[in-house]
Copies of this chain bind each other. A is one copy, B any other.
């Protein structure tokens, strides 16, 4: 069966929709600025469960996923819209009000103005569509498609925490009386991810990355998306991948923890490529921000190699979802 990713690729080709296919669409705004814009649909029991989250966390996360797409273009987020549909029983509670509390708290943190949206009833499930627009200097949006052979591959922070948190929620950890700080951190990474908006904007401003994507589906999937768009391959080193340190709270096995980092989604860190010249001339920029080099871009188009203890294997995309 076709994946969402394949469907969108076909649609793009069939109707020549050339603005589709990156984290955001890029549109001309004025003589100095482009607009980058994204929309993300979140559906109850597909993308979240009411039992596991709180309405303000959900509001926060709805905005965070779209802010992350704007960050991945190197954009400064400016305005947003959100549509929410809820069943009658939820409408009667303060759920939607709390949802907006969480949404607006995060929006204010990044100076994003909520300019519109829609509120509607649904028969039984909650649905949310979040739209965020940002600004970049004209022609300077960082695309998925700019990676060159020999570029170094970086991530902005630790990976695997959000999917570790999801695993805990699926295992009904919330019913347990004692949850240690590791587990709390993992759950928080799942329910209240903090988008890398400041870092994304800084990377856009400096024009350091040759290509960038946000880690929403998981490293194996998203690196694949970036390589496909750039028509390159990649070689990454297992021991260099920054694994969320809280994952030791749920697993002693490196094998298991690296699996979260490679295939778990929703960390909303940034994955980007940088030419070696730029890296070596600005090494302190990377060190200061804790950006970690996990590998390099290769000429083997769309092939991702994972090197573990000197041994290489092909890494399949096993992401959280395609979107």
Tell me the A residues contacting B by CB distance below 8 Å: 1, 4, 7-8, 11, 15, 17, 19-20, 24-25, 27, 29-31, 37-41, 43-47, 79, 81, 83-85, 91-92, 96-97, 100, 104, 113-125, 127, 129, 131, 323
Q: Given known contacts A83-B129, A123-B44, is B30 in contact with A118 (CB within 8 Å)?
A: no
Contacts of A83 in B (CB 8 A): 39-41, 129
A88 CB, min distance to chain B CBs, angstroms: 9
Across the interface, A117 reaches (CB within 8 A) one of B39, B47, B104, B121, namely: B39
Instruction: Give the docked Cα–Cα distance between A30 and B96 (Å).
Output: 35
Q: Are B19 and A113 in contact (CB under 8 A)?
A: yes
Contacts of A40 in B (CB 8 A): 83, 118
Contacts of A104 in B (CB 8 A): 15
Q: Are A39 and B125 in contact (CB under 8 A)?
A: no
Q: Are A43 and B127 in contact (CB under 8 A)?
A: yes
Q: Are B125 and A4 in contact (CB under 8 A)?
A: no
Across the interface, A25 reaches (CB within 8 A) one of B1, B17, B45, B116, namely: B116
A35 CB, min distance to chain B CBs, angstroms: 8
Across the interface, A7 reaches (CB within 8 A) one of B96, B123, B129, namely: B96
For A40, give the chain B residue with the smallest CB separation: B118
For A113, give the chain B residue with the smallest CB separation: B19
Q: Are B43 and A122 in contact (CB under 8 A)?
A: yes
Contacts of A8 in B (CB 8 A): 119
Across the interface, A127 reaches (CB within 8 A) one of B27, B31, B41, namely: B41
A63 CB, min distance to chain B CBs, angstroms: 13
Across the interface, A39 reaches (CB within 8 A) one of B24, B29, B131, namely: B131
A110 CB, min distance to chain B CBs, angstroms: 15
CB-defined A-B contacts under 8 Å, sample of 16 = A4-B119, A15-B104, A20-B115, A24-B116, A30-B30, A38-B116, A39-B81, A40-B118, A41-B85, A41-B127, A43-B127, A46-B120, A81-B131, A118-B323, A122-B125, A125-B125
Which of A7, A41, A115, A124 neighbours the largest number of chain B CB atoms within 10 Å of its CB? A41
Q: Are B43 and A116 in contact (CB under 8 A)?
A: no
Q: Are A100 and B11 in contact (CB under 8 A)?
A: yes
A58 CB, min distance to chain B CBs, angstroms: 16
For A47, give the chain B residue with the smallest CB separation: B120
Q: Are B37 and A116 in contact (CB under 8 A)?
A: yes
Instruction: Give the docked Cα–Cα distance between A120 and B123 (Å).
Output: 18
Please give me the 7 A-B residue pairs with the lowest Cβ-Cβ distance, nearest first: A30-B30, A129-B129, A25-B115, A19-B115, A41-B83, A25-B116, A41-B118
For A127, give the chain B residue with the smallest CB separation: B127
Instruction: Give the docked Cα–Cα distance between A114 and B115 (Å).
Output: 21
For A108, give the chain B residue with the smallest CB separation: B15
Q: Are B37 and A4 in contact (CB under 8 A)?
A: no
Contacts of A4 in B (CB 8 A): 119-120
A113 CB, min distance to chain B CBs, angstroms: 7
Instruction: Give the docked Cα–Cα distance between A63 and B70 (Å).
Output: 24
Contacts of A114 in B (CB 8 A): 15, 17, 20
Instruction: Give the docked Cα–Cα distance between A29 and B30 (Å).
Output: 7
Across the interface, A46 reaches (CB within 8 A) one of B7, B44, B122, namely: B122
